[in-house]
Amino acid sequence: MRHLIYSIAFTLAVLIAIGTRSTMAEEAYTPESGDEVVIYVNKFKPESFEEGKMIQVKGFGGAMQESGQTRLTYFLADEENHETVAISFFKKGHETKEWHGHTKRQEVLDKLKPLWREPMTFKKFTLTESHATE
């Protein structure tokens, strides 16, 4: 089941990234073949879902800005199952090792841990190719 969630989330993120290319500002980062992609899955306690979702989006968003990395992240929510998926495309030279060691990221994780029903999971991929249609 977890593999299916990762596959669906990854496919959705790639399709969204492709579809937003024409609407993004020219200077905005657009994922390219060879870029690292990481899918993070958070499973929250039902009573903590809304709080966790907001901490995740705002906290990680701020931490990403402070990290100085160039990347694109989509935050997805499954309201019914109290889960969120964050899909991050890392520009070459801005890989996960630096991000996973970032102090502000750890501060956000510390706030989220008591809200989880299971520890966060993540899986790394490499963007192989993308296609767009209009």
Question: What is the structure's pLDDT at 24?
Answer: 45
- What is residue 111's three-state secondary structure? helix
Question: What is the structure's pLDDT at 2?
Answer: 63
The tens digit of pLDDT for each residue in 23-35 reads 444 468 889 999 9
**Average pLDDT score over residue span 120-125:** 95
Structural domain boundaries in the chain: 2-126
CATH class of segment(s) 2-126:
alpha beta
Determine whether 34 is exposed, middle or buried from the number of CB atoms within 10 Å of its CB (0-12, 13-18, 19+).
exposed
pLDDT at 131 over 50: yes
pTM of the model: 0.78
CA distance 34 to 27: 19
Question: What is the structure's pLDDT at 101?
Answer: 81
Six-digit token string for 117: 């029903």
Q: Which amino acid is at 126?
A: T
The tens digit of pLDDT for each residue in 23-82 reads 444 468 889 999 999 999 999 999 999 999 999 999 988 888 888 788 899 999 999 999
